[in-house]
Amino acid sequence: MNAVSNSFQGTAAHSAAPAGAGDEQTDNHADNQASAFAAEWAAVEDAARAVSFMAGLAPEPASDQPRAFPDLIHEAGGWRLDEAAQRLADLAAILTPGVAALLGVLERGQNARVPALVLWREYHASRSALLALAK
């Protein structure tokens, strides 16, 4: 019974908040989400550069689209942002154990080029699909 009355008190307290307070909280939440997304995107891009190096590939030419992707996808918002967040999480879930496995191969003194190239191709295809969401 006490839990029920507490939930009603929370609702009343929320409705008594000054006008615009919820907007500020929503803006802060969106900013935090954008920062977290950008950080995860940067981490995935860094991991991909390491995979590219292990595959023996030349560095990709600098491009504005991948760099601007976090901002572009947050401007798009809606289902595109939700889809991008899920796909980015999936890509990170592929790269994390993949890079660890490649490092293990290198630690044993073995050639990691072929498995790194396979991982790079998977990353590249996934990244292309992600970038297309912002168009």
What pTM was computed for the model?
0.76
Q: Where are the domains of the chain?
A: 27-133
Q: Which pLDDT tens digits describe the chain residue by residue (135 residues)?
A: 444 434 333 333 444 445 555 566 656 767 788 899 999 999 999 999 999 999 999 998 988 899 999 999 999 999 999 999 999 999 999 999 999 999 999 999 999 999 999 999 999 999 999 999 998
Query: How large is the greatest C-alpha to C-alpha distance in the chain, in angstroms?
Result: 66
Distance separating alpha carbons of residues 120 and 53, to the nearest angstrom: 10
Distance separating alpha carbons of residues 89 and 95, to the nearest angstrom: 10
Q: Which residues contact 98 (CB under 8 A, 6 or more apart)?
A: 51, 119, 122
